[in-house]
A = this chain, B = another copy of it.
Amino acid sequence: MARAIQLAWRGRYSTHPNPRVGCVIARGDLVLGEGWHERAGEAHAEVRALSQAGPDARGATAYVTLEPCSHFGRTPPCSRALIDAGVARVVVASEDPNPTVSGRGLQQLRDAGIRVKDGVLREEAAKLNPGFLKRMRSGRPWVRLKIASSLDGRTAMASGESKWITGAESRSDVQRLRAMSDAILTGVNTVLVDDPSLTVRRNELGNIGQATEPSRQPLRLIADRDARTPPTAKILQGGDVHLFCSEEALSTGPAQDLSALGVTLNGVGWQDSGVNLGQLLDRLGELGVNELLVEAGPTLAGGFIVEGLVDELWLYQAPIFLGSEGRPTARLPFNDMCEKIEWLVTDRRQLGVDTRLILTPKVLAPNLSAVD
C-alpha cells in the first residue's frame, strides 16, 4: 500500500478534478503491475495496473489507495475490471468519501467472492486528496493560504513593493504549490498593485521527479466587487479566469467588457469586510475545485483566517527585516491576547535561506492540541 500511495503522488499535478489514486497488483512480495491515475478522462490506476499485470492478475492481490469506483463515468467501473481480471483479494486504504457511492465498490467486489480489506494506511492515503475528500464531504475546497513574509512579519513595503522577499527556491516551491492547486484566488488590489499572472511556469517548476507533467493552468479567481480588473491585466492571459463581483456589478460595463474577454462572471454577496467567503467557497465546490490556493493581500488573507476558513497556511519566511512601516502578514484587528490565532506546525523546512512552515489551525486538530 505504501508503494501504491507513492505511485498515486505522481498524479499530484495532473488528476484534477479527480482524486490521486495508485494501485499495485502483487502476489506475495512479487509486484505484477503498477498504475496510477494521470489525468481525468484517462485510465484509472486499477486499469493501468491490471493491464501491466496481464493474465498474472488472476488470483493476485490488488492494493488500491481509494475504493474502486462502481459506476460508469468517463471510464468503465474499476470494480468490474478487478472482478473480470480474477483478482482474489483487494486491499483498500479508504472508502470513497462521496456518501452516495461510499462502500458500493467494495460491496460489488465482495458480492463477486473477492476478499476485501479496508482502512490500510488510511491516514497516509488521505493526505493524497485533502481537497477531493473535503469537497465530497462538505461541498467546499481545501483552502491553502500562502504568505511570503519577512521575519518581522511584513509582506511588502508600505508602497506595495514586494519583489522579491523570498529567494528562488521558495518561489520555485510556490510554483509547485500552484501546480498542485485546482484554482488560485487573489483580490483586485493585488491585481492592481502587483499585476501577477498567477500561472504555473514550467521552467520555474524545478524537478518534479516522476510526477506527471501539469496538463493545464489552475483556474484564476479574482475577488473584485466592482469589476475593476483592467482588461490588460496579466492574470487574464493564458487560461480560465473567474471574477467574483457583486450582483449589482454583473451588468455594468466593466464587467461586461471582462466577460467579452472570456472571463466568467460570478455574482456573490459582499459585506464591509469583503466578499462573502462562505458563498465563494460553495461556488468553487460546485465548479469542482478540490484544492484552492489563496495568494492575496493582507485583507483577503485576514478574512480567511478570521473566519476560520484556512485549512493550511504555507508561510515562507525570508531572513530579512522589512521594517515596521511595511504591510502586515494579514489584516487581523485584534485588541486582546485571547483573540490570537494559534497554529500547529505540521512541517518546517529550509528552502535556500528561507524557512517554509506549513501550519494548520490548532482548533481543527483537537487530538494533536491535547498533547500540547
Contact = CB atoms under 8 A, between A and B. Distances in A.
Interface of A: 149-154, 157-159, 161-163, 298, 302, 305, 315, 317, 319-326, 328-337, 339-345, 348, 350, 353, 355, 357, 359, 372
B325 A335 contact: yes
A340 B353 contact: no
Contacts of A372: 353
Contacts of A337: 157, 161-163, 322
A322 B345 contact: no
B343 A332 contact: no
Given A152-B153, A153-B152, A345-B353, A334 B315 contact: no
A297 to B, nearest CB: 12
Contacts of A359: 151, 319
Given A343-B151, A357-B151, A158 B335 contact: yes
Nearest to A362: B319
A217 B340 CA distance: 34
B340 A321 contact: yes
Nearest to A324: B328
B153 A150 contact: yes
Contacts of A315: 151
Contacts of A334: 157, 322-326
Among the interface residues A161, A329, A337, A339, which one has the most CB atoms of the partner chain B within 10 A? A337
Contacts of A329: 151-153, 321, 324
B321 A330 contact: yes
A330 B152 contact: yes
A335 to B, nearest CB: 7
A320 B340 contact: yes
A151 B305 CA distance: 14
Contacts of A340: 150, 320-323
A317 B345 CA distance: 12
Contacts of A328: 152-153, 324
A316 to B, nearest CB: 11
A359 B353 CA distance: 11
Nearest to A334: B323
Contacts of A153: 149-154, 328-329
A339 B150 CA distance: 13
